[in-house]
């Protein structure tokens, strides 16, 4: 039986590669959550939380400030080719 993981995140307004680079320098990882029929939500995770879930295969709970709580699965993790650093994480929302 796997343990359930709960994440806390902050919504981000600045998008693009320059903003993402800035986030990574500050110790955060840019992430998005996709859901059918709903606009994509962009947010940031603490780098320590991102490393905790990079190979996680079960549903997890994400509490996003100003948005609410979402249940999702890890859809994709992008890595830097040279050193394996996590560049961004994509989630897919799961609805009951």
DSSP 18-56: HHHHHHHHTTEEEEEEEETTEEEEEEEEEHHHHHHHTT-
Q: What is the pLDDT of residues 50-95, one digit of tens each?
A: 888 877 788 899 899 888 898 998 998 899 888 888 889 999 999 8
Q: Which of 3, 7, 75 is nearest to 46 (CA)?
A: 7
Output the domain CATH number for residue 24.
2.40.240.10
Its domain, for residue 48, covers 6-93
Q: What are phi and psi of 25, to 5 degrees?
A: -65, -30
d(CA 17, CA 95): 30
On whether residue 84 sits in a domain, the answer given is yes
| Neighbouring C-beta atoms of residue 29, cutoff 10 Å | 25
Rounded alpha-carbon distances, angstroms, from residue 51 to 11, 23, 39: 19, 15, 26
Q: Which of 74, 28, 64, 32 is nearest to 47 (CA)?
A: 28
Q: Give the count of domains, the chain.
A: 1
On whether residue 1 sits in a domain, the answer given is no
Q: What is the pLDDT of residues 20-46, one digit of tens each?
A: 888 888 989 999 999 988 888 999 999
On whether residue 18 sits in a domain, the answer given is yes
């Amino acid at each position: 039986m796997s343990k359930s993981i709960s994440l806390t995140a902050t919504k981000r307004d600045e998008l693009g590669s320059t903003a993402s680079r800035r986030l990574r320098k500050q110790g955060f990882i840019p992430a998005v959550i996709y859901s059918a029929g709903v606009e994509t939500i962009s947010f940031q995770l603490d780098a320590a939380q991102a490393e905790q879930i990079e190979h996680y295969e079960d549903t997890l709970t994400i509490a996003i400030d100003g948005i609410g709580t979402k249940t999702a699965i890890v859809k994709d993790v992008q890595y830097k080719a040279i050193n394996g650093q996590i560049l961004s994480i994509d989630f897919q929302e799961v609805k009951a």
